[in-house]
Amino acid sequence: MTITYPIGTIIQHDGVSELISSQELLAGMVKAPSLLPSGEPLALAGLNAWVGALLPFHQVGFHGVEIHDGWLPFPQFTPSEVDTLRTALAETSLRAPSVAIARKSVIEPGLEDSHLEYTLRGLEVAHELGASLVCLGLHPILTTAQKAANLFWSEPGRKDSTDPETWATAVRHLKAIARRAETLGLEVSLELYEDTLLGTVDSCLKLLSDIDSPIVGLNPDIGNLLRLDRPVDHWRELLEALLPASNYWHVKNYTRVETASGFQIEPTTLENGVIDYPQALALAEQGGFDGLIVCEQYSDDWLEVLQANRIFLEGLLASPTPARAEK
């Protein structure tokens, strides 16, 4: 006998969701300012400024955040700065169970070794902060045109080479990261990102297989693909393939309207975009996903949207289970 679940069901047993708790919904920092109004880098501003920068996440109801190196370059921190960040988190009643390192690809041409060293140091700092997971990717450095664009993904970026030597370098460096992470008691999650060796389902799964580490999984951030002005696979197909191998999840959503010249795409709330998140969460549960979920947002009203997304996800996680149908 096979039990099937209605679309949108979050599977529960004894009335308790087995996916995650609201305490495991984190705020992402991809739009959080890294500069103060004065123009001073936030990283140099010290405890009071860091408390002030973290406090809004607490005020909109989050219990935890993902510390992103684009917000604070934590892999470069001294022990004193790590202590200061721990203090800032404590003073704002926020946890940091995960950190993210982006645009430090270990196959960035000419920077492979320095980015590997940066990432390995990031693992050390993550451990010192008490995090349990480090999210990595093969995101290339933004081009000049991408930096100038209102939405960076509207301009083409560098594409990873797919030659055997580049693949071997990626596997070798990611294996080294995995070995060090395991000794520190950390998990590693590799983020789906367009035009990289983590840019397709097949490539993600092949790279994961070649790394062959029990502490490495995927981050099925399908929003990174669905915001592109090109045809992409259906979000359901992507999640069905990736979620069983995933240990972490950046969630965001976009409107996506096909026009005569391509696609018109804008960031929006989790509730209103092309990804149906009630269905996506059901797929996550069915695929055995039990990792942290991080809310990301790129619109100018990003903090308000993060709050709305938190409330939306908490409502889905707490909703009663619809009746199950048997076949």
Q: Whole-prediction pTM value?
A: 0.91
Q: Are 171 and 210 in contact (CB under 8 A)?
A: yes
Who contacts 319 (Cβ-Cβ below 8 Å, separation ≥6)? 10
pLDDT confidence of residue 22: 65
Q: What is the pLDDT of residues 153-199, one digit of tens each?
A: 999 999 999 999 999 999 999 999 999 999 999 999 999 999 999 99
Give me the count of residues in the chain.
Answer: 327
Quick one: which of 257, 259, 249, 201 has its CA closest to 225?
201
What pLDDT is recorded for position 6? 33
- Four-residue CA torsion sign, 294, 251, 73, 107: positive
What φ, ψ does residue 252 adopt, rounded to 5°? Answer: -160, 175
How crowded is residue 265: how many other Cβ atoms within 10 Å of its Cβ? 19
Neighbours of 36 (CB within 10 A): 14
Give the CA dihedral 38, 303, 145, 174, nearest 10 degrees.
110
The list of the chain residues with pLDDT below 50 reads 1-17, 321-327
Dump the DSSP string for 86-131: HHHHHHTT-EEEEEE--S--TTSTTTHHHHHHHHHHHHHHHHHHT-
CATH number for the domain running over 3-326: 3.20.20.150
- The answer to whether 95 and 58 are in contact (CB under 8 A) is no
Amino acid 108: pLDDT: 98
- The answer to whether the CB of 199 falls within 8 A of the CB of 242 is no
Residue 236, amino acid: R
The answer to whether 255 touches 266, Cβ cutoff 8 Å, is yes
Burial of 193 per CB tally in 10 Å (0-12, 13-18, 19+)? buried
